[in-house]
Amino acid sequence: MEKIKGLLVAPFTAFTEDNQINTAVIPQYAALLKRNGLSGVFINGSSGEGYLLTADERQALAEAWVKEQTPAFKVMVHVGATCVEESRRLARHAESIGAWGMGCMAPPFPPIGRLEELVQYCEQLASAAPSLPFYFYHIPVFNHVNFQMIDLLKAVDGRIPNFAGIKFTYENMYDFNQCTLYAGGKYDMLHGQDETILAALALCDTKGGISGTGNYIGNILTGVMKAWDEGDLDKARQLQNYAQEVINVICHFRGNIVGGKRIMKLMGLDLGRNRTPFRNITDEEEQQLRRELEAIAFFGHCNQ
């Protein structure tokens, strides 16, 4: 299977004033990402508030994003849900509309306590759309499922034919590297933690990733990768450190899903508010967010 090169973005879901999904902004959104060197999107995941959407909303978003798909701009659809049958329906839909690939994180309920249950979960979802590459989304902070991913690869190898790789959003770089080495690099290991992308490039020879902050600093993160490829370690460090400065700011405003989404409004692309139970940024917090971004010259560095 084709491996992803470059960065995909986990886009936010836009909502109207009356809390309905807003697909009308997607062409403008996609153009922004393409203009800044991103290689595609992974929709309906954590940044997209996927678990707060109905199945019909998720399908409508997938259809709108696939219209923006090109050979150089892939659309991967997160199909995970608490109900396996709903996940399988979402997987079949992603396949039917021509999405490039699909993925899922472990379900939030019930908690998965054994690796075999996780393998069975992935197997049921992947088999619903056998023509699509399937990625597991490893993000223990959300679901507390924290097996060694090298063990997952060993368990699925030869068992799930369309298992393509893992979106790895966790600090365990040893496990990440072991996965990249497994079976001669058989599986596509996508780095998912923007604050350590340079470490992944250096240790693991990373070629691809899926980014949350890439919505607004994708040009910085792709710049890290380009500088590394060109052997300019000083520039790569400089850009990685700047990305961390931006991450330090969003940590003051409830992280990427809340603070990052409001940054998009400050950049001129209003994606609306977050759905309950997220605590939305107040007008006063928005003013403070702008001040903190201006203090690090963000608006001269962000995606244009």
Active-site positions read 137, 167
Distance CA 131, CA 95 (A): 7
Distance CA 223, CA 210 (A): 15
Give me the residue label for tokens 């992803």. Answer: 4
SS3 state at 105: strand
Q: What does 121-137 look like in DSSP terms, one character per residue?
A: HHHHHHHHSTTS-EEEE
8 Å CB contact between 88 and 124: yes
Distance CA 182, CA 37 (A): 29
- Helices 55-66 and 84-96 pack at an angle, to 10 degrees, of 20
In the chain, which residue ranges form alpha helices assigned H by DSSP? Answer: 26-35, 55-66, 84-96, 115-128, 140-143, 149-156, 173-181, 197-204, 214-229, 233-250, 255, 261-266, 283-295
